[in-house]
Chain A
Amino acid sequence: MVKAGIITFLGTNCERDTKQALDFLGWNTEFIWQNDKIEKHYDVIFLPGGFSFGDHISSGRIAKLTPAVKSLPVGKSLIVGICNGFQILTEAGLLSGALTHNENLHFISKVTDLEFQNGIIRLPIAHHQGNYTGKNGEEIIMRYKTNINGSDDRIAGIYDRKNKIIGLMPHPERAVFEESGLTDGRKVFEFIKNEI
């Protein structure tokens, strides 16, 4: 059984969605508080979406200084940042580049088509700073079908295989249950499981 840790910061609001989705998929999950050092072993550690520290200064900027992020077991556990988690990973320098304000300056919240593993999937996106620029070496694993926010090369997700770090702007955890009308998130978690 996959053992997953989900870091919760002040202002995180997708930790329960992530836990429910992973529990449904049969993973063993638990929360990790921002102020705790990560000492236990997890197969995968999620930095979920939300507004850590109110997005003050810039999205993800403050969370990068927490004990949990500073003690991330890079290269040992697979690390997955979703939305605000992706922003935290770039701010921490664990993934290259930066996520700047969307090109139209709007907060974009909608379901969108994405290119993923030679196919098209539909996932929700909800962000203000998702305009990715400055990739340096990571593999592009997900692209917006249309250039929705101004990201270089329509990038929606990247993967540093060497250090086992994934950053995704879309929300796969919001697309797992039939009741939500979207289940393509399962394909993303299947991909993550295979990369552990």
Chain B
Amino acid sequence: MKEFEAVVNVKLKDTIKDIKAQTLEQAVHNLIPVKNLKCRVGSRYSIKFEANDKKEAERIIKTIADEILSNSVIEEYEILW
């Protein structure tokens, strides 16, 4: 078995209104003048685990991301190794 570590970044799809990002943008404008500010807010998960090979590791992390870390109706994610 080999040890793997993946980082999963989850954020709302661009088609879903990101209310937390709007709040962040408002706060930034109150803090400092910024032009063309565009924010998106999401979550970052760091996951360590063991698997036989990279292929199995990818299958495991995709299942976790699909079923627990994100909701495909409103969110999208990226996996970084």
Which chain A residues have a beta carbon within 8 Å of chain B's beta carbons?
A: 57-58, 61-62, 65, 90-91, 96-98, 100-103, 105, 133-134, 150
CB within 8 Å for A57 and B69 given contacts A103-B19, A105-B19, A133-B16: yes
20 residue pairs from A and B, CB less than 8 Å apart = A57-B43, A57-B68, A57-B69, A65-B67, A65-B68, A90-B73, A91-B71, A96-B73, A97-B73, A98-B71, A100-B16, A101-B20, A102-B19, A103-B19, A105-B19, A105-B20, A133-B16, A133-B74, A134-B74, A150-B19
Chain A interface mostly: loop
Q: Is B46 an interface residue (CB 8 A)?
A: no
Q: Classify chain B's interface size.
A: 10 to 19
The smallest C-beta distance from A154 to any residue of chain B, in angstroms, reads: 16
0 or 1 for each of B24-54: is its CB under 8 Å from A? (1 = yes): 0000000000000000000100000000000
Q: Which residues of A contact B17 (CB under 8 A)?
A: 103, 150
Q: Which residues of B contact A102 (CB under 8 A)?
A: 19
Q: What number of residue pairs across chains A and B have CB atoms under 8 A from each other?
A: 34
Question: Once bound together, how far apart are the Cα atoms of A96 and B73, in whole Å?
Answer: 9
The smallest C-beta distance from A120 to any residue of chain B, in angstroms, reads: 28
CB within 8 Å for A98 and B73 given contacts A103-B19, A105-B23, A133-B16: yes
Which 4 residue pairs across A and B have the least CB separation, nearest first? A98-B73, A98-B74, A134-B73, A98-B71
Q: Cβ of A61 and Cβ of B19 under 8 Å apart?
A: no
Q: Which residues of A contact B73 (CB under 8 A)?
A: 90, 96-98, 134
User: Which of A58, A61, A96, A102 neighbours the largest number of chain B CB atoms within 10 Å of its CB?
Assistant: A58
